[in-house]
Amino acid sequence: MQGDDLSEALTQPLDLLGRLQPVIFSHCSLDAQRPVLVGFSGGPDSLCMLHVLWQSGLNLIVAHLDHQLRPESADEAQSVTELAEGWGLPVIIERQDVKEFSERQAMSIEEAARMVRYRFLFSEAKHRGAQAVAVGHTADDQVETVLMHLLRGSGTSGLRGMAYRSLPSSWSQDIPLVRPLLGTWRADINAYLEANHLTPFQDPTNLDVRYYRNYLRQELIPDLEKTHPRIKERIWRTADVLREDYAVLETMLAQAGEQTLLLRGEGYVVLDRRIFLAQAPGIQRGLIRRAVDLVRPGLRDFDFEMTQAALDFARSPSRSGKRDLAAGIGLFLEGDGLWLVARETDISSAAVSGHRLPSISPGSELRIELPGIFPLEGNWRLAVVWVDDLQAVIRDALANTDPYVAWLDAARLQFPLVVRARRRGDRFHPLGLEGHSLKLSDFMINVKIPRRARDSWPLVISNREIAWVPGYRLAETFRVTPASRAVIRLSLEHSEE
């Protein structure tokens, strides 16, 4: 070791603690009182971070996720507990089957690990009232992230890399994600660990596409450094500038997002396609990215081509069609609503233009023996009422504007009534249609029942015949005529509570 290197190795680590004080308290905005939840893998970066934060007098909670992907992971979890206890810090160890999760969610194991980890960290942070979640990304990680995005194709949102403090993040609207080591190079971290006699796990649970990172670390970046000695600093600062540029973009994006968002639920987002298409292309792209982030928070495997595919669909959708994007996200159009939906989400009853849709699980049946009020799924209920005042029926029917109310000739109706979803082969003879019945599926298309709702649309059946398609049409057979003596009033009602 040369004299200069030696002196640097000796002074740098001591300096690091001092140099990081403004980062911790200003850039990351941490305070010394409220607890900080520290994501701790046991690798060099998180070990250095934990030590620095601890030395800075912060109130810390150590959180470690055992991903159960390697045999030694349980032992490592045990070591984490011992280390934390040795430093007098509370520790949370969680074990999760990441492999199973990745299969269920149709995502890569790396992506799944990341998602499980962050969900764990933020759920614990919330539970413990932490002021922030801290993770150990370094300046080298930042440079690698930018290069990775560049080599794979990206926009400003990818090339800008990570921030010292992210709020809101994909993971939380109110708990910030902080990265105290984002401006610290790996070399300084290693020197710090050595000077402080800290020993990280040799092969920690670092699941970031390892091969790719190694290519960047060991081949591309050293190669670039031969011709551009300051390349890492330059890329780091480029990310810094892009982050500022993107912050401006985000203010416009937030505005456009408010105007464009029609509907949002667990696992789905609906955008107003007309307003969407009126935006600048850069905003459209950002809106797709945000929608994907609402449907699958924190997803990274959604690249340029997929954003483009989503944009292409939005611009010229196949009206009847549906487009499967990456990561189990589907895209389809319903009226002017552009839906982005996670594969596992049941949207059959999701509201549209303010109206929730009724639904009944395909395969189930509700049998109604007598008039009365019967609960259905999702706060819907069916009211079946005897009416014998024919004059009143005529008056009410004429004034009625609610498609979820119908009057049927009681003499034709046969109890028990059955409420069920459609079945293969169902036919229907709508009131007023000349001639005979038609396929129920054709009827549903004709009257524009949203495709996603058709399979679970409740039908009222009397003696194996579809008597009523609530919201749309009565069957010819059951219509009230001047000859009707008694009438049954059916109504499908939704209550908000």
* Cβ 374 to a copy of itself shortest distance, Å: 53
Pair 179, 164: CB distance under 8 Å: yes
Among 10, 14, 32, 150, binds a copy of itself (CB under 8 A): 150
* Cβ 227 to a copy of itself shortest distance, Å: 6
Q: By CB under 8 A, tell whether 278 contacts a copy of itself.
A: no
DSSP character for 478? G
* Cβ 149 to a copy of itself shortest distance, Å: 8
Among 280, 373, 385, 431, binds a copy of itself (CB under 8 A): 280
* Cβ 245 to a copy of itself shortest distance, Å: 4
Q: By CB under 8 A, tell whether 10 contacts a copy of itself.
A: no
Of the pair 224, 405, the CB lying nearest a copy of itself is at 224
DSSP character for 289? H
Among 22, 129, 153, 321, binds a copy of itself (CB under 8 A): 153
Pair 469, 403: CB distance under 8 Å: no
Q: By CB under 8 A, tell whether 210 contacts a copy of itself.
A: no
Q: By CB under 8 A, tell whether 43 contacts a copy of itself.
A: no
The full length of the chain comes to 497
**Percent of the chain as helix, strand, coil, to the nearest 5:** 40, 20, 40
Q: By CB under 8 A, tell whether 291 contacts a copy of itself.
A: no
Q: Copy the structure tokens of residue 260.
A: 């464009």
The Cα-based distances of 295 to 30, 248, 263, 284, 301 in angstroms read 30, 24, 12, 17, 13
Pairwise CA distance, residues 316 & 306, whole Å? 15
Pair 366, 464: CB distance under 8 Å: no
Q: By CB under 8 A, tell whether 32 contacts a copy of itself.
A: no
Pairwise CA distance, residues 110 & 115, whole Å? 9
Q: By CB under 8 A, tell whether 281 contacts a copy of itself.
A: yes
| No. of helices (H) and no. of strands (E), the chain | 17, 22
Among 222, 282, 375, 403, binds a copy of itself (CB under 8 A): 282
Question: Which residues 6+ apart lie within 8 Å of 432 measured at CB?
Answer: 476
Q: By CB under 8 A, tell whether 155 contacts a copy of itself.
A: yes
Q: By CB under 8 A, tell whether 254 contacts a copy of itself.
A: no
Q: By CB under 8 A, tell whether 194 contacts a copy of itself.
A: no
Q: By CB under 8 A, tell whether 143 contacts a copy of itself.
A: no
Pair 433, 442: CB distance under 8 Å: no
- Integer-rounded Cα Rg, in Å, for the chain is 30
Contacting residues toward a copy of itself, per CB under 8 A: 150-157, 159, 215, 219-220, 223-224, 227-228, 231, 234-235, 237-238, 241-242, 244-249, 251-252, 280-283, 285-286, 304
